[in-house]
């Protein structure tokens, strides 16, 4: 227990003794983890937005005019049995007519035309899929049904959407990994400089019989502290910035994009970034000790 208190006190003492170098190190680590955190948020929101987009992948199916209501219901039940179909929602002619009126509400002439002509829309269904990749096959199966008048299907667009989501997720993963490696490199070099500045002290400790691990631990604690402090500061800045973007006036800049609420991510972000900072500090300090000094 005494050794633990000694190592911790030495770690804090090293931060104080190094002064400007400690501040510079923490600042660099803060910037690195802040960038890292931004990409974590980017990845979380990308996954959130892409999940919404994929959940909205749908086909629109329309039946022949004059089809009896009970037959329409039976067609809906048959569609529900097709593999890859997640949900089937009736898309009535009245709903389509009302939606057309809403779309042209700023054009009185078109609204008057719709009202004069009356409801000429077919009855149908909105068919939601488990994945856009099912679109072509599900559409082909539905086309075999009797009394199907039209199928609105853009399989190429849906496959492109699925591919784009996979690509963006992959890019996000590799960017986060790259920034993690950069942060480890920065902390490793910070600890290396600290050890170089205190090389005489280290040699004296070895001369009086201090073990290698007794010498190493204060530097390891110092690296962890740098990582934890940098992670905490970065987390505070990111949470503040994200609250401005999502909850403030800047939210209007994003238009139709529905970003994940701060309340759903702040706990995960705090734990992830602060722990990540400490972990990167630990790895960086261990690597610098092993690589740059034979203690």
User: Domain boundaries in the chain?
Assistant: 2-53+161-292, 58-130
Domain 58-130 annotated CATH 3.30.70.3040: yes
- How many angstroms separate the CA atoms of 217 and 199, rounded? 15
Name the one residue in this structure whose structure tokens are 């987390």. Answer: 235
Q: Report residue 67 CA to chain centroid gap.
A: 46
pLDDT at 143: 87
Integer-rounded Cα Rg, in Å, for the chain is 30
Alpha-carbon distances of 183 from 7, 44, 219, 220, 281, rounded to whole Å: 24, 20, 17, 16, 9
- The whole model's pTM is what? 0.56
End-to-end CA distance of the chain, in Å? Answer: 23
Alpha-carbon distances of 51 from 56, 80, 132, 169, 201, rounded to whole Å: 9, 21, 12, 11, 56
pLDDT at 36: 76
Q: pLDDT 10s per residue in the chain (295 long)?
A: 556 665 566 555 666 666 666 677 777 778 877 877 887 787 777 777 766 766 667 788 899 888 888 998 999 899 999 988 888 889 888 888 888 888 888 888 887 888 888 888 889 898 888 877 787 788 888 888 888 888 876 555 556 666 666 777 677 677 767 766 776 676 666 666 666 666 666 677 667 776 766 777 777 777 778 878 888 888 888 888 887 777 654 454 444 456 777 777 778 788 888 887 788 777 777 766 665 555 4
């Amino acid at each position: 227990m005494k050794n633990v208190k000694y190592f911790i006190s030495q770690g804090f003492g090293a931060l104080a003794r190094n002064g400007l170098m400690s501040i510079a190190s923490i600042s660099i680590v803060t910037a690195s983890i802040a960038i890292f955190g931004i990409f974590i948020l980017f990845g979380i929101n990308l996954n959130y937005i892409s999940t919404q987009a994929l959940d909205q992948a749908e086909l629109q199916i329309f039946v022949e005019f004059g089809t009896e209501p009970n037959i329409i219901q039976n067609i809906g039940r048959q569609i529900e049995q097709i593999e890859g179909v997640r949900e089937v929602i009736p898309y009535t002619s009245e709903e389509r007519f009302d939606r057309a009126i809403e779309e042209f509400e700023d054009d009185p002439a078109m609204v008057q035309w719709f009202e004069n002509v009356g409801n000429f829309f077919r009855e149908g269904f909105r068919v939601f899929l488990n994945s856009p990749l099912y679109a072509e096959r599900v559409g082909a199966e539905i086309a075999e049904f009797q009394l199907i008048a039209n199928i609105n299907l853009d399989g190429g667009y849906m496959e492109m959407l699925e591919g784009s989501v996979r690509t963006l997720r992959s890019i996000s993963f590799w960017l986060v990994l790259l920034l993690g490696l950069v942060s480890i490199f920065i902390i490793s070099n910070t600890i290396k400089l600290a050890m170089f500045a205190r090389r005489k002290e280290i040699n004296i400790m070895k001369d009086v019989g201090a073990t290698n691990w007794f010498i190493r631990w204060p530097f390891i604690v110092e690296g962890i502290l740098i990582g934890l402090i940098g992670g905490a500061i970065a987390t505070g800045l990111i949470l503040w910035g994200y609250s401005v973007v999502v909850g403030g006036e800047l939210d209007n800049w994003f238009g139709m994009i529905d970003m994940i609420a701060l309340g759903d991510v702040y706990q995960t972000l705090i734990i992830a970034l602060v722990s990540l900072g400490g972990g990167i500090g630990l790895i960086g300090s261990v690597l610098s000790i092993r690589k740059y000094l034979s203690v």
